[in-house]
Structure 1
Amino acid sequence: MTSETTRPIPSLDDLDLSAFHEARPRKARALMIQGTSSDVGKSLLVAGLCRAYARRGLKVAPFKAQNMSNNAAVSADSDLPPAPGPDAPPPPRGEIGRAQALQARACGLPASIHMNPVLLKPQSGVGSQVVLRGRPLGNWPAREYHHLKPHLMPAVLDSFARVARDADLVLVEGAGAATEVHLRHCDITNMKLALEADLPVVLLTDNDRGGALAAVVGSWLLHDEAERARVKGYIVNKFRGHFSLYEPGCKVMTEHTGWPLLGVVPWFDAAALLPAEDSLALARNLSEGGQGLRVAVPQLGRIANFDDLDPLRAEPGVELILVRPGTPIPEADVVLLPGSKTTRADLESLRAEGWDGDIRTHLRRGGRVVGICAGFQMLGRLVRDPEGIEGEPGVTPGLGLLDIETTITPEKRLTEICAQDSLSGTEVRGYEIHMGRSSGAGLTRPWLMLDGRPEGAISADGHVSGCYVHGLFGSDSFRRHWLSGLGAAVSGLDYEAQVEATLDALADHVEASLDLDALLALAQ
């Protein structure tokens, strides 16, 4: 578990806020999408608008001041200066939420730390690792983080100014519910940001779960006059059914709030083909994909970067099974241990579920086991955290399936990978994002050999393998090689082309549902 020890609030010097400046007047238009709750589809709608406006020839950029997600992406930039000298290592990288990386892709831009300057990576029920402009600030209990947040607003405004400096249009995404007025004093990502940065707001509500009428009217009731004036209208998202039956409800919303209805966006069936923002998406996905090779994935408590699973889910010859807590691992061809934000805590949970025994039974039956990042660490003999980076200091026994040991260290490895795997002869594209270093004799049998560099480990019998590379299965040639080695049917899926086609379909869907000219006119 993450330590909840109270720690002093960093000073401005500790946070290096002296480098941040007041936001300068911007040339870019900006429009903010806030939600009546979490998971109303803000991230997806912004991604669709990003692609739609970019196709119209505008230079569009996304922005989200604060995101909470363990699904992160490596950025193309960093606040850290590059190392000097001709033999210096590659420039340092930062990390941002996966949703903002997808939105940047929809715009045709590289991911930047300034698109998501504050990233919270949950490590316990009440605490998260705080990442400021790509760099970890440590682990913070929620109560202490709320004291820290106002000190981060200069960084947020500075990052917004940098994004707006190079764009024609910035689409700003709020976080969670815009009406958490009990947090108004420390807000940096919803109405406080809209007021500070002079942003017009569109309110997004979700018809699928019900209660949209109460959510919109309740939002109006909870906002003060200045906040109400920021809202230019509302959009109903994830709509199913006949609008004629729903239209009277929209009239009630408008009568009570004075906010006009700006559009109704029907349910987008292809949303599951895009990387999800956070683990809320997993609640809807138990068993997916095609028929054939069965891949079982235990749902760890702090599962991270689970979009590693998306390319396998998209394969018609693969059935991906997400194993919920309280459920034994079913018979499968492969058990895949995904990434985790807290390796030791999830190892303990894995044992408490009895999944360690299920995995050993699976291996005795001739099955395969794969671990990615933290899942790789779990396959070893020990995981040490002497400095309490992920929780209380200590040592946790691993599953003992690979002859490696891991020590969690303060330094986070953030790097993109584009290399040739000399063992399979295929190209591998992906990224590393982890704080552990592994050692041991098992590394002498690497799973991959990336341009001559050994990566990961594989057991002597070849049934257990793991590595630190996220995005591995998104590399089409490698995925096909891996699947064919397991006797699975191999398709001609071009995963990256599928993501691009889905973003275009999302943009078509948004453009057919909303008046983009009217929305652009609201941006200021």
Structure 2
Amino acid sequence: MAAIMLQGTGSDVGKSVLVAGLCRALANRGLNVRPYKPQNMSNNAAVTVDGGEIGRAQALQALAARVDPTVDMNPVLLKPQGDRTSQLIVHGRMRGTLHSENWHEGRRPLLPEVLESYHRLRAAADIVVVEGAGSPAETNLRAGDIANMGFARAANVPVILVGDIDRGGVIASIVGTRVVIDPEDAAMIRGFLVNKFRGDPALFDDGYRDIEARTGWRGYGVVPWLPEAARLPSEDGVVLERHDAPATGRVVVACPITARIANFDDLDPLKLEPGVELRMVPPGQPIPAEAQLIILAGSKATLPDLAFLRAQGWDIDILAHHRRGRPVLGLCGGYQMLGRRIADPHGIEGPAGSADGLGLLDVETVLTPEKALRRVEGMALGAPFAGYEMHIGETSGPDAARPVVQFADGRHDGARSADGLVAGTYVHGLLAAPEQRQAWLATIGVDGSGRDYHASIDEALDAIAATLERHVDIDALIALTKTAG
């Protein structure tokens, strides 16, 4: 029974990918591994085998470790609903809302539950690989912390600090962390990793030694840029801020990026298709007129995102797209937006209220306190699928008499317009199965590649693990795990 924790000098330094790669490398060595993140903040989540929800990254890390995801792998999940509020998920279930006013006080009592999950995982595994959140150098967040040093010290888990050399200033960020954090926190850090290096690592030898000399921490390796990481699902909206140049000669599938977009990894399988250009449309840009299919992704706050969509003028673009005889698909919150009306009488996702939807589906949605959380499988468009439901709300109306999917247990879900151009469903992960993706692409005249999305992820994890074996002293990390309390 052993553990190690990866913390970062900042957000988006690659902690999630490194934890996933390390889980796969250790599993490939025959070790029984469990991933763990005490507290996560993300609107991309996954449903676990025990019927709860955790951050998407921890579900991916469980896959890397070749085990089923459970709620203990991410006992506290914060899902932002606005700039100052987050839905609080504890052990996979909603427990209320955290506001900026009660942020510190609201988290502090959760430490015992965080430790309960950790100890259950540790009892079941040879090694637990823990991921921190943000950075321990955010000293303004240290009081009440359960995500970084607050957890590491309570559980007595040794820490490796990860710095991102691609963004620049990696020496200052690692050494600076040593300077600003509490000495007792700094004592928990046993070494560092330099991540995302491009070029010849020997060129950084002097910098590597300089970090060791200035911090007294041992370096455990320089990890090169991992192109395979782009094939993995992301839970961080930061990835949506990066825009690739438009491709040519491909059919465009467009998805507008709303303010509280959630589970946008539902669209990742489309990136496997050589005949498709997935274009994530940022605020301030119109939905491209050349799009053959528009997909509205999920949302953590449907009514505010519907207002945001209208403020961008995207409602006009979507209605014009439909008038041109082109299809629209709504997933979860996107499905709700396509209906005639959405009501939130209990104020579950913000202030209580209601609003007219886009009116492309003859259905109405009422948000309810109970959240549907279940893994599902079945048939849609004559092809099989496997995914999960994770939503608040009940949707009904005449178009629901034309359901999109039939579950294996006999239930139906979703709605389709009378003209057949507009469809919506609560199923996440719908496009992952190659046959299902091919069926949807056929509606816009594209021959699907038949590539297996899950196999692609598995191949990427193996490639990342192989790279870590070459560039990281994993034997020394394993030895370090045994010093955990």
The interval holding the TM-score normalised by the smaller chain is over 0.9
Deviates more, 1:336-345 or 1:492-501: 492-501
Match of residue 112 from structure 2: 154
Structure 1 residues 289 and 167: CA distance shift in structure 2, 3 A: farther
Structure 1 residues 341 and 287: CA distance shift in structure 2, 3 A: farther
Residue 445 in structure 1 maps to residue 418 in structure 2: no
Match of residue 179 from structure 1: 137
Match of residue 86 from structure 1: none
State whether residues 44 and 235 of structure 2, in contact with CA within 8 Å, keep that contact through their aligned partners in structure 1: yes
Structure 1 residues 182 and 156: CA distance shift in structure 2, 3 A: same
For 2:281 and 2:168, locate their aligned partners in 1 and report how far apart those are by CA, in whole Å. Answer: 28
Question: Residue 95 of structure 2 is aligned with which of 124, 137, 149?
Answer: 137
- DSSP 3-state at the match of 1:148: helix
- DSSP 3-state at the match of 2:441: helix
For 1:317 and 1:132, locate their aligned partners in 2 and report how far apart those are by CA, in whole Å. Answer: 41
For 1:198 and 1:453, locate their aligned partners in 2 and report how far apart those are by CA, in whole Å. Answer: 48
Match of residue 362 from structure 2: 403
Structure 1 residues 126 and 493: CA distance shift in structure 2, 3 A: same
Structure 1 residues 335 and 434: CA distance shift in structure 2, 3 A: same
Match of residue 49 from structure 2: 76
Matches within 5 A, 1:212-291: 212-286=170-244, 291=249
Structure 1 residues 174 and 288: CA distance shift in structure 2, 3 A: farther
For 2:299 and 2:208, locate their aligned partners in 1 and report how far apart those are by CA, in whole Å. Answer: 42
Match of residue 473 from structure 1: 431
Cα deviation digits, residues 289-328 of structure 1 (max 9, x gap):
8852210100011110111011012211111011110001
Match of residue 39 from structure 1: 12
State whether residues 289 and 313 of structure 1, in contact with CA within 8 Å, keep that contact through their aligned partners in structure 2: no
Match of residue 377 from structure 2: 418
Residue 383 in structure 1 maps to residue 356 in structure 2: no
How many aligned residue pairs are there?
Answer: 480
State whether residues 293 and 444 of structure 2, in contact with CA within 8 Å, keep that contact through their aligned partners in structure 1: no
- DSSP 3-state at the match of 2:223: strand
For 1:303 and 1:289, locate their aligned partners in 2 and report how far apart those are by CA, in whole Å. Answer: 24
Deviation of the 1:143 alpha carbon: 2.8
State whether residues 382 and 395 of structure 1, in contact with CA within 8 Å, keep that contact through their aligned partners in structure 2: yes
For 1:255 and 1:466, locate their aligned partners in 2 and report how far apart those are by CA, in whole Å. Answer: 58
Residue 164 in structure 1 maps to residue 137 in structure 2: no
Match of residue 160 from structure 2: 202
TM-score by length of 2: 0.97
State whether residues 430 and 469 of structure 1, in contact with CA within 8 Å, keep that contact through their aligned partners in structure 2: yes
Match of residue 393 from structure 1: 352
Match of residue 23 from structure 1: none
Structure 1 residues 286 and 402: CA distance shift in structure 2, 3 A: farther
Match of residue 491 from structure 1: 449
Residue 328 in structure 1 maps to residue 286 in structure 2: yes
Match of residue 512 from structure 1: 470
For 1:288 and 1:200, locate their aligned partners in 2 and report how far apart those are by CA, in whole Å. Answer: 44
For 1:288 and 1:448, locate their aligned partners in 2 and report how far apart those are by CA, in whole Å. Answer: 32
Deviates more, 1:147-156 or 1:284-293: 284-293
Residue 373 in structure 1 maps to residue 336 in structure 2: no
Cα deviation digits, residues 368-404 of structure 1 (max 9, x gap):
1110000000000111000100000001110000000
Deviation of the 1:182 alpha carbon: 2.0
- DSSP 3-state at the match of 1:185: coil
- DSSP 3-state at the match of 1:186: coil
For 2:247 and 2:62, locate their aligned partners in 1 and report how far apart those are by CA, in whole Å. Answer: 27
State whether residues 418 and 428 of structure 1, in contact with CA within 8 Å, keep that contact through their aligned partners in structure 2: yes
For 2:387 and 2:243, locate their aligned partners in 1 and report how far apart those are by CA, in whole Å. Answer: 24
State whether residues 255 and 294 of structure 2, in contact with CA within 8 Å, keep that contact through their aligned partners in structure 1: yes
- DSSP 3-state at the match of 1:301: coil
For 1:491 and 1:291, locate their aligned partners in 2 and report how far apart those are by CA, in whole Å. Answer: 16
Deviates more, 1:357-366 or 1:445-454: 445-454
For 1:346 and 1:475, locate their aligned partners in 2 and report how far apart those are by CA, in whole Å. Answer: 28
State whether residues 447 and 457 of structure 1, in contact with CA within 8 Å, keep that contact through their aligned partners in structure 2: yes
State whether residues 136 and 142 of structure 2, in contact with CA within 8 Å, keep that contact through their aligned partners in structure 1: no
Deviation of the 1:460 alpha carbon: 0.8
Cα deviation digits, residues 33-56 of structure 1 (max 9, x gap):
010000000000000000000010
Match of residue 50 from structure 1: 23
State whether residues 137 and 180 of structure 2, in contact with CA within 8 Å, keep that contact through their aligned partners in structure 1: yes
Question: Residue 303 of structure 1 is aligned with which of 243, 246, 261?
Answer: 261
Match of residue 89 from structure 1: none
Cα deviation digits, residues 441-480 of structure 1 (max 9, x gap):
1101112233443211111111111100000000111111
Matching residue's letter, 1:351: R
Deviation of the 1:32 alpha carbon: 0.6
Structure 1 residues 244 and 506: CA distance shift in structure 2, 3 A: closer
Matching residue's letter, 1:309: L
Matches within 5 A, 1:75-94: 75-77=48-50, 93-94=51-52
Instruction: Compute the RMSD of aligned alpha carbons.
Output: 1.3
State whether residues 290 and 315 of structure 1, in contact with CA within 8 Å, keep that contact through their aligned partners in structure 2: no
Deviation of the 1:510 alpha carbon: 1.1
Match of residue 62 from structure 2: 104
For 2:323 and 2:186, locate their aligned partners in 1 and report how far apart those are by CA, in whole Å. Answer: 63
State whether residues 205 and 215 of structure 1, in contact with CA within 8 Å, keep that contact through their aligned partners in structure 2: yes
Match of residue 341 from structure 1: 300
State whether residues 415 and 433 of structure 1, in contact with CA within 8 Å, keep that contact through their aligned partners in structure 2: yes
State whether residues 46 and 173 of structure 1, in contact with CA within 8 Å, keep that contact through their aligned partners in structure 2: yes
Cα deviation digits, residues 58-97 of structure 1 (max 9, x gap):
00000100000000000111xxxxxxxxxxxxxxx11000
State whether residues 408 and 436 of structure 1, in contact with CA within 8 Å, keep that contact through their aligned partners in structure 2: yes
Deviation of the 1:287 alpha carbon: 5.7
For 2:180 and 2:172, locate their aligned partners in 1 and report how far apart those are by CA, in whole Å. Answer: 12
State whether residues 160 and 193 of structure 2, in contact with CA within 8 Å, keep that contact through their aligned partners in structure 1: yes
Structure 1 residues 248 and 270: CA distance shift in structure 2, 3 A: same
For 2:229 and 2:241, locate their aligned partners in 1 and report how far apart those are by CA, in whole Å. Answer: 14
